Amino acid sequence: MATTNLVDKLAEPPTSAATGAARRRLDFREKPQLWLVPAVFVVVVLLWEYGIQLIGVDEYVLPRPSQVVDSLWRQLGDDLFWGHFWVTSQEALVGFVIGVGAAVLLGTFISQVKVVEATLMPYIVAFQTVPKVALAPLFVVWFGFGLTSKVVMAAVISFFPMLVNVIEGLRAADADKIQMLTVFGASKTQIFRMVRLPSALPFIFAGLDIGIVFAILGAVVGEFIGAKEGLGYLLLQTNYNFDIAGMFAVLVVLSVMGLLAHFVIRLVQKRVAFWAEETKVIGA
């Protein structure tokens, strides 16, 4: 009887707590980045914190992480900082929307009309080779020191990666599917909606992913050239005041902005283009 009870207990499924622990162990084995990413972060921060003390590096050259966190905490409690943050966010988002919208419209038009593609692509490739950051002084001269020049800079710098990805994505449509739909009498609009657009979505999201980061970069660069507010302006002010910890704090905020934007794009991609694998960014 005792033997039978023991066998029955061994045959019972594991409890929910045991199952959860087993799943966590399996996740850590299959996805080592779950523990490697935070482990590397902790190691780097500790080496940074105590290594520069041992070496004797001055804080105005390289501040400790604790000093950066202290400066970041003070800035987050300052309403003036949030004003700068909102200005840069507004410039980047508006420029990103304008650049992406123009790139989608123009890229769709170019990919559908071969004469337009053959005519405009050499100019697009030529202009793509121009360093967009070098255009910032021109935009300040043309559009002034206000919000407009930064929005234009953010739009231009995010436009070309999106444009190239839209064109290449629409080109990547399966020719056999297009031919089959054509045989069955599908219109160009139906073919675009059922074949070309789904095949282009991974490319489009790849362009969005790099475009939003470039838009933030464009806004900050525009603020470097000429501005009275924004995180780029705040970076210059901390630099003039030799507040290196404050500079690192602003850089942390900019990095977090880029990471959050990246994760939002990825989240939308998983819901909209859930069937597609990760696509390499074109035109970055």
Number of Cβ within 10 Å of residue 279's Cβ equals 21
31-45, 93-107, 195-209, 234-248, range with greatest mean pLDDT: 93-107
What rounded mean pLDDT belongs to the chain? 79
86 pLDDT above the threshold of 90? yes
Determine the Cα–Cα distance for residues 187 and 255; give it in Å rounded to an integer. 45
1 pLDDT above the threshold of 60? no
Residues 149 and 142 sit within 8 Å (Cβ to Cβ)? yes
How many residues would you count in the chain?
Answer: 284
Q: pLDDT over 90 for what percent of the chain?
A: 15
- Per-residue pLDDT tens over the stretch 176-215: 777 777 777 777 777 777 777 778 888 888 889 889 999 9
- Per-residue pLDDT tens over the stretch 217-246: 989 988 888 778 888 888 888 888 888 888
Determine the Cα–Cα distance for residues 158 and 153; give it in Å rounded to an integer. 9
Mean pLDDT over residues 101-123, rounded?
83
Closest CA to 266 of 208, 221, 226, 196: 208
pLDDT of residue 10: 45
157 pLDDT above the threshold of 50? yes
Q: Which residue has the higher pLDDT, 83 or 134?
A: 83
pLDDT of residue 8: 52
Provide the residue ranges of all domains of the chain, joining segments of one domain with +: 2-55, 65-272
Q: Is the dihedral of CA 143, 252, 86, 82 positive or negative?
A: negative
pLDDT of residue 117: 73
Cβ contacts of 139 within 8 Å, gap of 6 or more: 149, 152, 153, 156, 222, 225
Q: What is the DSSP string of 127-180?
A: HHTS-GGGGHHHHHHHH-SSHHHHHHHHHHHHHHHHHHHHHHHHHTS-HHHHHH
Q: Which residue has the higher pLDDT, 126 or 236?
A: 236
pLDDT of residue 253: 92
Mean pLDDT over residues 141-170, rounded?
87
Please give the structure tokens belonging to residue 217: 């970069």
Determine the Cα–Cα distance for residues 197 and 203; give it in Å rounded to an integer. 10
Q: pLDDT over 70 for what percent of the chain?
A: 82
284 pLDDT above the threshold of 50? no
172 pLDDT above the threshold of 90? no
97 pLDDT above the threshold of 90? yes
Residues 183 and 120 sit within 8 Å (Cβ to Cβ)? no
Please, which pLDDT band fits residue 279 given cuts at 50, 70 and 90? very low
Q: Which residue has the higher pLDDT, 281 or 253?
A: 253
Lowest mean pLDDT, pick from 49-53, 208-212, 257-261, 276-280: 276-280
CATH number, domain 65-272, options 3.40.50.720, 1.20.120.530, 1.10.3720.10, 3.40.718.10: 1.10.3720.10
